[in-house]
Amino acid sequence: MAASVAALFRMAGAGWVLAREGAFTLVDPEELPSGPRMAARIARALARRGVTEEARSERLTAALNRLGPSYIKLGQFLATRPDLVGREGADALGRLRDEIDPFPEEAARAAVERALGRPVDELFSSFSPPVAAASIAQVHKAEVTDDLGTRTVAVKVLRPGIRQRFRRDLDTFYEGARLVERVDPASRRLRPVAVVDTLARSVTIEMDLRLEAAALSEMAEASADDPGFRVPVVEWDRTARDVLTLEWIDGIKLSDIAALRAAGHDLVVLARRLMQAFLRQALRDGFFHADMHQGNLFVDEAGDIVAVDYGIMGRLDRDQRRFLAEILFGFIRRDYRRIAEVHFEAGYVPGEHSVDDFAQALRAIGEPIHGQRASEISMARLLSLLFEVTEIFDMQTRPELLLVQKTMVVVEGVARTLDPDFDMWASAEPVVREWIERYLGPSGQLELAAEGAGAIGRLATELPRLAERAGRLSAEIDRMSEHGLRLDPETVAGIGRSEAHASRWGRVALWVIAVVAVLAGLKWLS
């Protein structure tokens, strides 16, 4: 319980920093229930004065950077969840980039030696000071000399103590999520605690650099024959949990438009290549780079786009890919009935709703775009509107689809900086049509039939074991129905004491936080 109280105090401290920097001005109190509405109004009153509306995203960035790496990751993660933070908040968080000071080179060298079991000077013929720093790790430029000659590599080193920091801050996030669910029962549809679970899993994977190396390797295999896109090569013998060594990319960042033009690259071609590379990853492979902002994208001398930083990846199974492809293809063909049917077939919209009513809502989204020039139509915006409409029809939050939509927003934005007249539909149509023909055409149906036959064969081998388990379960149910399920009096009393104790301390902690917030507000107002 002491740990919970400490987490609540840390949450109050973080709330104070966010309130002072104006983060809660991104929240409309009128859209909240009465309890959270009052808290949001108080938080908005605590914001610093004299800051323009245009500076709100910068203030939010400043607040999260002040709170540290865990909160930066939380902000980046919430940028994918407009259903939780609102469209304006998600847009502001989407512009959040790590602005963390690097840690000393000596600490990085010590971490490399611990991870790889050899001195840095034996592993690398040169090792530079940090050239880039982020919330999880920082990058050093180094050289490797061996029988193959000398080559330049990038060495990514995990921040010392970062795992312990995240574990502590995750406790705070969990307390906050549970508090939201208690104060606002309507929020349970958005599953705040499950959101923190997803963040915890994502960060745990991101902090094991061997898994990032595996993502690089998997992506390299999947995209080996893709035109105009490639993945850096991993140096596996110089990679461990806390260290990742890979090919150094000598290229031009996609954000440097002037340099790209000066080097003679075709910006229109680059924009199309980028979008098609992302759609191939999402639809064909079901495994996509989920952090494709301009800082992670380079163009090499050959004109190929090279993506770095594979810490955040997204996955879609076959059904999810079919769902996404049919939605995009349905809007291209203006087949709103089919888009609605796909939602129901996937189980995303509850069956008590009408397919025709849902198709009517989809038409309200799709028809206005067909009167516009193709270059003015944003597919990312289309998907955003789609997910807003699905809330009316009780569609449960689908984090994996939101991650695709968020990544598409970023990729489409990058493409439009390269080509202001970028035609999203013309770029997407060949990839989507190829997927539809490949997986929903005759060959795809045969493949599904073969997979089904294999599944039936595996099920047949499991039948004896399943029958035995079913028999045991049936006997247990008969015993319970005859005698009932009973708890001894000591167990019941213990449960009661535990619940009362937890409830009492929870109330105490909430009152303490409220008093601290009021006193801080009075001090500020004075």
Q: What is Dmax (Cα atoms) for the chain?
A: 83
Listed in order, the ranges of the chain carrying CATH 3.30.200.20 are: 99-170+182-248
Surface-to-core class of residue 352, CB atoms within 10 Å of its CB (0-12 exposed, 13-18 middle, 19+ buried): exposed
User: How many beta carbons lie within 10 A of that of residue 100, not counting itself?
Assistant: 16
Give the per-residue pLDDT at 8: 64
Q: Which of 169, 291, 309, 419 is catalytic?
A: 291
Q: By C-alpha distance, which of 382, 274, 262, 257 is closest to 332?
A: 382
Q: By C-alpha distance, which of 56, 63, 23 is closest to 40?
A: 23
Q: By C-alpha distance, which of 200, 202, 212 is closest to 240?
A: 212
Give the per-residue pLDDT at 512: 43
Rounded to whole angstroms, how far apart are CA atoms 79 and 180? 19
CA–centroid distance for 140 within its chain:
26
Q: Are 513 and 5 in contact (CB under 8 A)?
A: no
Q: By C-alpha distance, which of 127, 192, 191 is closest to 155?
A: 127
Across-strand partners of 344? none
Rounded to whole angstroms, how far apart are CA atoms 11 and 171? 10
Rounded to whole angstroms, how far apart are CA atoms 218 and 206? 16
DSSP code, position 46 = T
Rounded to whole angstroms, how far apart are CA atoms 85 and 56? 14
Q: By C-alpha distance, which of 86, 78, 74, 99 is closest to 26?
A: 86
Q: How is 156-212 classified by DSSP, letter by letter?
A: EEEPTTHHHHHHHHHHHHHHHHHHHHHH-GGGGGG-HHHHHHHHHHHHHHHT-HHHH
Catalytic residue list contains 478:
no
Give the 3-state secondary structure of residue 339: helix
Per-residue pLDDT of the chain in tens (526 residues, 90 and over written 9): 555 666 666 767 777 777 776 666 666 666 555 556 666 677 777 777 665 555 666 677 777 777 777 777 777 777 766 656 666 666 667 666 666 789 999 999 999 999 999 999 999 999 999 998 888 899 999 999 988 889 999 999 999 999 888 888 888 888 878 877 777 676 666 677 877 887 788 888 889 999 999 999 999 999 999 999 999 999 999 999 999 999 999 999 998 999 999 999 999 999 999 999 999 999 999 999 988 888 899 999 999 999 999 988 999 998 888 888 888 788 877 889 998 998 888 888 888 889 999 999 888 888 877 666 656 666 666 766 776 777 678 776 676 677 787 788 788 888 988 998 888 778 888 888 888 888 776 655 555 455 555 556 655 666 676 666 666 666 655 665 555 545 455 554 554 555 444 444 444 444 444 444 444 444 444 4
pTM: 0.72
Give the per-residue pLDDT at 232: 96
Q: How is 343-411 classified by DSSP, letter by letter?
A: HHHTT-S-TTS-HHHHHHHHHHHHHHHTTS-GGG--HHHHHHHHHHHHHHTTPPP-HHHHHHHHHHHHH
**The tokens of 346 are what?**
């996937």
Rounded to whole angstroms, how far apart are CA atoms 95 and 410? 10
The letter for the amino acid at 89 is G
Give the list of residues 6+ apart from residue 20 with CB closer than 8 angstroms, or none: 46, 47, 48, 63
Give the 3-state secondary structure of residue 231: coil
In this structure, whether the domain defined by 99-170+182-248 belongs to CATH 3.30.200.20 is answered with yes
Q: CA-CA distances (angstroms) from residue 390 to 20, 79, 272, 398, 459?
A: 35, 19, 30, 11, 36
Rounded to whole angstroms, how far apart are CA atoms 239 and 210? 7
Give the per-residue pLDDT at 330: 84
Rounded to whole angstroms, how far apart are CA atoms 295 and 131? 13
